Structure 1
Amino acid sequence: MSADRILVVDDEPQIQRFLRPALTAAGYDVIEARTGAEAVKAAATAAPDVIILDLGLPDMDGKDVVAKLRGWSTVPIIILSARDRESEKVAALDLGADDYIEKPFGIGELTARIRTALRHRLRADAQTERVCVDGLEIDTLRRLVARDGEPVRLTPKEYDLLVLLARHAGRVVTHRTLLTSIWGPAHGDDLHYLRVFIGQLRQKIERDPARPAIIRTEPGVGYRFADEL
């Protein structure tokens, strides 16, 4: 079986010198790009399984690279950047990035996010109809939800919100994406509305709603459905 291929897009030589041996040691095939143009070309010609993308590139903003790639590719994109403003995270994720890690970072965290991105891609390719995590079972074929074998009664909107999060397990889903997908574009800024529904869901599916483990909050950005516990 061939190794999964990781495209690292960063113009900082020290980052490239650090990531190549670390990711190679983790069992990945690593290719590199230092500009946005090189990244788009490499994504088209080298068929990477995951892209690690810096936002501060010399020829274009990394968010523009995300937008270009999402015009034709669904390859998982993990943003790796020193920009820590929530608006930068939200913009990149709304454009189609799968995850966001701030510099400085640990290689353990990065490889964990890569594994999550690869699992999500496999599930998406297989069009998984059943999701199980920590005793919670979601059967989208039969439109059923159970907790430790006991049926969970959800409203239609609660169910749609849960399924949307579950289908992106391990990934951050932004407030705007959730609101516009479930309630429509006119509700893209209704954060209070979303928090109410998330609270209701947690009461029904979490073992301890006060300390949610399945639907996790990404402060100022959105929510992340647990990939595994």
Structure 2
Amino acid sequence: MHEEGTGDRRARIVVVEDDQTVRDAVTAYLRANGYDVTAVDNGVGGLRAIREEKPDVAVVDRMLPGLSGDEICREVRTFSAVPILVLTALGEVEQRIEGLEAGADDYLVKPFALRELLLRIAGLLRRARAADAPTRVVTRDEVTIDPARRRVWIRDKEVALAAREYELLAYLFEHDGRAVSRDDILRDVWGWSFGEASTVTVHVRRLREKLEDDPRQPRYVLTEWGVGYRLSTTGAGS
């Protein structure tokens, strides 16, 4: 049994997968490892289940009847920051980037090992809960984060971030203006020992779209050429 409980209940997973063999295998494996699972075989029903059941993690196939996985991600991001893991048969970098840009937090390329799926879900849950996060509110110029409640404000206006976007911003806050590399971010935020640097680039772009007045000329999340990214402590883009 896993150890990823949510308070006094088991974590709830919504699985949206139209391939019955994959859906049945994933559902049985996750239930055997202690999760409550709702399995859906189409995009429209999957979106409804995510909206109504408010799961702790959503596992969504990219190619679905009714609504695609990308469409589900975009729609979910209008009302929820639930971590989304996309299952895709498309291994090309551009295809994976499209899923991340749509709002996915992580992806797994088919065929995959069920054990890896379990580890990815556990990682998403740990980061979403941030049980060991500091409780004090921190402000860097015009940006404020509340780690205990995982909330963010710009100039007193709250900004809704997806789980991975929040984790990326909190990581930059932790480094207090020091530049961090994409590899560091992949390791410390995603928990990956290797992976596509473009994954980080996509999430930085999404974060800037929500934080910045002009994402093309960022004032807060800055690129440190040849190194990676850093958080401006002045809000002046310097």
TM more than 0.5: yes
The correspondence for 1:178, drawn from 204, 229, 238, is 204
Is residue 158 of structure 2 the alignment partner of residue 158 of structure 1? no
Partner of 2:101: 94
Report the CA distance shift for 1:160/1:123 in structure 2 as closer, same or farther (over 3 A).
Answer: farther
What one-letter code is carried by the residue in structure 2 that aligns with 1:6? I
Partner of 2:72: 65
Q: Distance in 1 between matches of 2:47 and 2:174?
A: 41
Taking the TM superposition and a 5 Å limit, the aligned residue runs for 1:77-226 are: 77-123=84-130, 127-128=146-147, 156=177, 158=179, 168-170=189-191, 173-178=199-204, 181=207, 185-186=215-216, 196-198=226-228
Q: Distance in 1 between matches of 2:14 and 2:108?
A: 16
1:117 Cα shift? 0.6
Partner-residue secondary structure (3-state), 2:59: strand
Gaps in structure 1 of 5+ consecutive residues: 130-139, 146-153, 202-229
Partner of 2:25: 18
The correspondence for 1:38, drawn from 24, 45, 55, is 45
1:6 Cα shift? 0.8
Partner of 1:74: 81
Could you tell me whether the CA contact under 8 Å between 1:179 and 1:187 is conserved in 2?
A: no
Calculate the aligned-residue CA RMSD, in Å: 3.7
Partner of 1:29: 36
Q: Distance in 2 between matches of 1:181 and 1:39?
A: 26
Gaps in structure 2 of 5+ consecutive residues: 1-7, 136-145, 149-169, 231-238
Scaled by the length of structure 2, what TM-score is found?
0.62
Q: What number of residue pairs does the alignment pair up? A: 176
Could you tell me whether the CA contact under 8 Å between 2:186 and 2:200 is conserved in 1?
A: no
Report the CA distance shift for 1:105/1:161 in structure 2 as closer, same or farther (over 3 A).
Answer: closer
What one-letter code is carried by the residue in structure 2 that aligns with 1:175? T
| 1:204-224 Cα deviation digits (max 9, x unpaired) | xxxxxxxxxxxxxxxxxxxxx
Give % identity.
26
Could you tell me whether the CA contact under 8 Å between 2:87 and 2:107 is conserved in 1?
A: yes
Report the CA distance shift for 1:169/1:48 in structure 2 as closer, same or farther (over 3 A).
Answer: same
Q: Distance in 2 between matches of 1:168 and 1:70?
A: 20
Q: Distance in 2 between matches of 1:119 and 1:83?
A: 27
Q: Distance in 2 between matches of 1:160 and 1:179?
A: 15
Could you tell me whether the CA contact under 8 Å between 2:181 and 2:227 is conserved in 1?
A: no
Partner of 1:221: none
